[in-house]
């Protein structure tokens, strides 16, 4: 992938993280021609909507609704109340700015052969890999929905996975900040965990670093008590 396009994808992910999914989804769902006269960021986001793929059920950038909506309320009651639902946004400290690494960056000026493009990408990746945790939730029992990326498996199935907040993270787009990736260790191997399948996972959350050159860095570890497929 070209460096300029990769930076554009990274900016799109930042918008999802910093501004909330609603605004970013509007951009990602808008066709490129609607971005005429818009800002460079809007044009980048609109262009991405023509490049990303969907699996038929979820499109790149889609998030799960969690158990707070009326359609999920009955399902939420089935979970052990000892594991309250955790929102992904709460994993970021309130005073941390995920956009800080982008200050002064003009994507339109960066060409693929410009060494500043790779330098900018490296700076952003380092800042996100070092993203701080929210200590309020470390050591707590939590339940959270997300998309799975298997990383370790035995003959019996998947032993470890990364959980990410939106479809396509770490696969179709650059990795999110480390505080938006959870390394999950399962109590029992799961025989059929596919990439980007949606799950509820619950257990104890700790601030433990995990690094993967291919998939990105996770700032949290969830020692899982249970896992089950997410259903709308």
CATH number at residue 81: 2.40.50.870
* Domain match, 79 and 174 both: yes
What's the average model confidence in pLDDT over 126-149? 96
Using the predicted structure, report yes or no on whether residue 14 has a pLDDT greater than 70: no
* Domain match, 119 and 143 both: no
Residue 64 domain-assigned (yes or no): no
* Domain match, 21 and 86 both: no
Residue 62 domain-assigned (yes or no): no
Rg of the chain over all Cα atoms, to the nearest angstrom: 18
Residue 59 domain-assigned (yes or no): no
* Domain match, 91 and 29 both: no
Residue 81 domain-assigned (yes or no): yes
Q: Cβ neighbours of residue 207 under 8 Å, at least 6 residues apart?
A: 133, 135, 138, 219, 220, 221
Task: Quote the pLDDT of residue 60.
Answer: 84
- Buried b vs exposed e over 140-166: b needs ≥16 C-beta within 10 Å? ebbbbbbbbbbbebeeeebbbbbbbbb
Confidence class for position 31, pLDDT limits 50, 70, 90: very low
Pick the range with the lowest mean pLDDT from 50-54, 75-79, 86-90, 165-169.
Answer: 50-54
The residue whose two tokens read 């993270």 is 169
Q: Cα-flanking dihedrals φ and ψ of residue 39, to 5°?
A: -70, 165
* Domain match, 8 and 91 both: no
Confidence class for position 207, pLDDT limits 50, 70, 90: very high
Structural domains of the chain, count: 2
Residue 60 domain-assigned (yes or no): no
Residue 56 domain-assigned (yes or no): no
What's the average model confidence in pLDDT over 140-152? 95
* Domain match, 21 and 76 both: no
Residue 155 domain-assigned (yes or no): yes
* Domain match, 39 and 76 both: no
Pick the range with the lowest mean pLDDT from 58-62, 78-82, 114-118.
Answer: 114-118
* Domain match, 107 and 195 both: no
* Domain match, 111 and 172 both: no
* Domain match, 163 and 86 both: yes
**pLDDT tens string 163-185:** 999 998 888 677 899 999 999 99
What's the average model confidence in pLDDT over 113-129? 80
Please tell me the pTM assigned to this model. 0.76
Q: Which domain holds residue 214?
A: 70-95+133-229
Pick the range with the lowest mean pLDDT from 23-27, 121-125, 148-152.
Answer: 23-27
Percentage of residues of the chain with pLDDT beyond 90? 44
**pLDDT tens string 35-54:** 443 444 444 444 444 444 44
* Domain match, 21 and 74 both: no
What's the average model confidence in pLDDT over 76-103? 87
Residue 8 domain-assigned (yes or no): yes
* Domain match, 123 and 204 both: no
What's the average model confidence in pLDDT over 198-210? 97
């Amino acid at each position: 992938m070209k460096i300029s396009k990769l930076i554009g994808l990274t900016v799109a992910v930042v918008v999802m993280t910093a501004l909330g999914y609603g605004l970013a989804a509007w951009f990602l769902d808008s066709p490129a021609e609607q971005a005429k006269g818009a800002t460079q960021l809007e044009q980048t986001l609109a262009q991405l909507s023509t490049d990303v793929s969907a699996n038929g059920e979820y499109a790149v950038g889609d998030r799960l609704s969690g158990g707070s909506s009326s359609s999920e309320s009955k399902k939420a009651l089935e979970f052990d109340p000892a594991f309250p639902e955790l929102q992904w946004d709460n994993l970021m400290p309130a005073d941390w700015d995920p956009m800080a690494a982008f200050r002064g960056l003009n994507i339109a000026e960066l060409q693929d052969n410009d060494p500043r493009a790779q330098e900018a990408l490296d700076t952003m990746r380092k800042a996100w890999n070092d993203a701080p945790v929210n200590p309020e939730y470390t050591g707590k029992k939590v339940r959270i929905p997300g998309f799975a990326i298997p990383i370790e498996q035995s003959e019996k199935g998947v032993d470890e996975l990364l959980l990410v907040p939106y479809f396509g993270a770490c696969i179709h787009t650059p990795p999110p900040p480390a505080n938006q990736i959870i390394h999950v260790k399962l109590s029992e191997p799961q025989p059929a965990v596919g990439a980007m399948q949606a799950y509820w996972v619950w257990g104890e959350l700790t601030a433990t670093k995990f690094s993967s050159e291919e998939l990105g860095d996770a700032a949290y570890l969830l020692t899982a008590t249970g896992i089950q497929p997410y259903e709308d």
